[in-house]
Structure 1
Amino acid sequence: MRRLFQSKLTLLLIAGLCSLTVAATAFAATWSSSDQYGNWSNGGYIVYNNVWGGVAGSQSIWANSYSNWGVTSNQPNTGGVKSYPNSTRDINTQLGSLHSLSSSFNVSVPTSGSSFVSAYDIWTGNYAHEIMLWMNKYGSVKPIAASWDASGNPVASYTNVNVGGHTWNVYKGNNGSNDVFSFVRTSNTNSGTVDVLAIMNWIKTKGWMSNEIVNRVQFGFEITTSPNASFTTNSYSVSFS
């Protein structure tokens, strides 16, 4: 009887362990990495961990697809961007040849204790021009600008610009390597659709860029400070023709 009881107990323990293994497998991400520049190709996109090193802390990335991914990032409370985990789609099409270029996103982000921006980073002209679309921002983060006021705040080149389906304050500056055009949404949002082509055509009308190649569209989290915080992209896509 005792031996039979022990056998049944053993079978129950094995069954329980199997159930835990199945559950863990079911909730495991398709891909993950803690490498500084870990990356994964999926569905015509590349998901990047993209930690810049130097004073940066640790960061782990996971992904089920280019559209559903996230990071846990532990960055110190010091100045400067530490990482830009993102999902990238290459376009490599001349601006004048594009009939449409749009993107949709939905994210979950921390709302306290962290400084970061959920942002598109769009590159054109063989990476001569960087177009940033700030969809939300938290903490002490500021865009690059041509000038700053007496309080140390960037001065917008244009305010309350309604283009691409959103209203922005627009800043024009240079980071020492390339021109940067930052469109900072006048109110935070964690989801939406953006007409990227309309924004680039608006920039062109200002004479800031020409009919050049649109290299790539990236979307992710530009992280300055994050005390072991989690950032999740619930959905994301880019379409063009």
Structure 2
Amino acid sequence: MKRPLRAIAAAGLLAAGSIVAVVLGAGNASADTQICDQYGSTTIGGRYVVQNNRWGTSAQQCINVTSTGFSITRQDGTGNTSGAPVSYPSIFLGCHYTNCSPGTNLPVQVKNISSAPGSISYNYISGATYDAAYDIWLDPSAKRDGVNQMEIMIWLNRQGPIQPIGSTVGNATLAGRSWQVWRGSNGSNNVISYVASSAIPSMSFDVMEFINDTRSRGGITNDWYLTSIQAGFEPWQGGVGLAVNSFSQSVNTGGGTTPPTTAPPTTAPPTTAPPTTAPPSGGGCSVKYTPNAWTDGFTADVQITNTGSGTINGWTLAYTLPSGQQITSSWNATVTQSGSAVTAKNLAYNGTLAPGGSTSFGYQGTLKGSYSSPTTFTLNGVTCARS
């Protein structure tokens, strides 16, 4: 699935005879407020912003904002379930396209966050196609405007034939629950999604659990900035009655840099990296290539395993993509493409593979014609077996 960028932009008034009140731009809600403007927003509790954010359709959508959350009261748009949703009505803390919540301390670097306790309570409905998502946005710079490079989506519920961006890359146990992990890119930013196996109507947790897991997967570093935390719905079809009953989110700073998990060395590290070593000949490596393709795009997860008896220090995987495939973004490796030839090189944290050890990287690309996978891979010049 590919999903266009959620944007906050200037929009004209959309008139409707049944609309009681329309909020334009940003204001402050002291009583129930109805927002029907495409990108209308208001603040509640002197702390959070609630936004209509109907970015994917020209059809009408309205939300009723209360003192603790909001509900969808009208949703006329219809999205293709193999494509993007029609909107993302939500409540947020932080800065989103220059719209910052009152008194926010965001953006703030991840390494300076000690905890980020949050809680959410949803009202779900049947007969509609949607996801209920807790969205976390991060970027290498302290952005208050424009798209961020990393979006973490926590799917607490999904109804209908929809799926996150990209493909599954594993599982995780976070906030005392099990999640299926997806990874990909929508063409504007990378996305890691954590999908619950069944609907979760309410949850209290520390957002840092998901940020730290994303960091451990190479998606961000401690120097990146957390810019906003949002909770709401992505409807494809229907949605009247969906509600955020309550939302609470804080970002506590002062924790300092995350301490290392091992003691620092007592001697200075070498000034040069260890030499790159090729795997032993005769079955020294294997590659598992797992694609997920759709009409005009694809993602691929590539797992490299050292099947030899010696340690590999630094790796370069080379192969040829079939005609019509062009890589647009990647993660966990430096991936370059020249014509059909692809070269993937390790990053600083995943270059050493002990005997029996594995590492994975992935990418997203565009597709013209029918899909097929590459067939031959070489690691540091040695041909690898397929697994």
Q: TM (normalized to structure 2)? A: 0.49
Give 3-state SS (helix, strand or coil) of 1:36's partner: coil
- The counterpart of 2:55, out of the listed 49, 52, 76, is 52
1:224 aligns with 2:236: yes
Residue correspondence of structure 1 range 146-225 to structure 2 within 5 A: 155-159=167-171, 161-211=172-222, 212-225=224-237
Equivalenced residues, count: 200
- The counterpart of 1:119, out of the listed 133, 137, 160, is 133
**AA at the equivalent of 2:200:** T
Q: What do you get for the CA RMSD once the two structures are aligned?
A: 1.7
Residues 86-128 of structure 1, C-alpha deviation per residue, up to 9 Å, x if partnerless? 001013111111110121111112122x110010111001411
1:93 aligns with 2:108: yes
- Kindly name which structure, 1 or 2, has the bigger radius of gyration based on alpha carbons: 2
Matching residue of 2:37: 35
Q: Which has the higher contact order (CA 8 A, sep 6+)?
A: 1
Matching residue of 2:88: 84
**AA at the equivalent of 1:68:** G
Q: Report the CA distance between 1:29 and its aligned residue.
A: 4.8
Alpha-carbon distance in 2 for matches of 1:139, 1:232: 18
* Structure with the higher helix share, 1 or 2: 1
For structure 2, list consecutive stretches of 5 or more residues without a partner in the other structure. Answer: 1-29, 95-105, 253-387
Q: Report the CA distance between 1:85 and its aligned residue.
A: 0.1
Alpha-carbon distance in 1 for matches of 2:76, 2:206: 33
Alpha-carbon distance in 1 for matches of 2:55, 2:79: 15
Alpha-carbon distance in 2 for matches of 1:35, 1:239: 28
Alpha-carbon distance in 1 for matches of 2:218, 2:80: 36
Task: Name the CA shift for 1:29/1:140 in 2 (closer, same or farther; >3 Å).
Answer: farther
Q: Report the CA distance between 1:236 and its aligned residue.
A: 0.9
**AA at the equivalent of 1:45:** Y
For structure 1, list consecutive stretches of 5 or more residues without a partner in the other structure. Answer: 1-27, 146-154
**AA at the equivalent of 1:59:** Q
Answer whether contact 1:106 1:190 (CA < 8 A) is retained: yes
Alpha-carbon distance in 2 for matches of 1:229, 1:71: 5
1:104 aligns with 2:119: yes
- The counterpart of 2:155, out of the listed 134, 139, 144, is 134
Kindly report structure 1 stretches of 4+ aligned residues shifted beyond 3 Å.
none
Q: TM (normalized to structure 1)? A: 0.78
Residues 8-44 of structure 1, C-alpha deviation per residue, up to 9 Å, x if partnerless? xxxxxxxxxxxxxxxxxxxx95321111111002222
Alpha-carbon distance in 1 for matches of 2:215, 2:79: 37
Alpha-carbon distance in 2 for matches of 1:141, 1:77: 11
Alpha-carbon distance in 2 for matches of 1:74, 1:169: 31
Q: Report the CA distance between 1:144 and its aligned residue.
A: 0.6
Identity of aligned residues (%): 31
